[in-house]
Amino acid sequence: MFLKPDYNLRSIYEIDFTELKECGITCVMFDLDSTVMVSKSANFLPETVEWFNTFLKDFEVAIISNNKNDEYINNASKIAPCRVIGNANKPNPKIMREYLDSVGISPQNAVMVGDRPLTDILAGKLLGCKTILVGSINPKENLPTKFVRALERATIRGNTDK
């Protein structure tokens, strides 16, 4: 199935960066809200900052978000350990492609990490890079968000988790 992620993990903390490196991945693109930051919190969890520091030296890293609020994206940029790009309009891969072109990396050497199959994973697939679907970083998501997330994940049910 087209939406099947290459990896389906419970959280970002399960990503095996050694394996990605061995597969030729040199760039990791992350979604922002609910992937590396609790949605609309404008703050990284302390364990997320520490986690970022374990792989930043080995990869080109960016956070690519659909969030259209310039002030929010600017605030996230000030505290993020990497470049933050907003208003990405995923699943359209145009902004992701422009970013990869700007750093001289081909999609085959990149991975998109996100919590939403119909935006993050689809954008990565359309771009031609590897994809990693992760669970939300926020264990206390509201009920409507949990429901939408369950519906989206039903589209990929039956896939083998890695």
Q: Name all domains of the chain by residue range, CATH numbers in brackets.
A: 7-154 (3.40.50.1000)
- At 68, which amino acid appears? K
pLDDT of residue 105: 98
The pLDDT of residue 153 is above 70: no
Q: What is the mean pLDDT of residues 55-62?
A: 96
Contacting residues for 49 by C-beta, under 8 A, at least 6 apart:
81
Distance, CA of 1 to chain centre: 20
Burial class (CB in 10 A: 0-12, 13-18, 19+), 78: exposed
Q: How confident is the model at residue 38 (pLDDT cuts 50, 70, 90)?
A: confident
The pLDDT of residue 158 is above 90: no
pLDDT of residue 156: 65
pLDDT-above-70 percentage for the chain? 83
Residue bearing the bigger pLDDT, 31 or 148: 31
The pLDDT of residue 162 is above 50: no
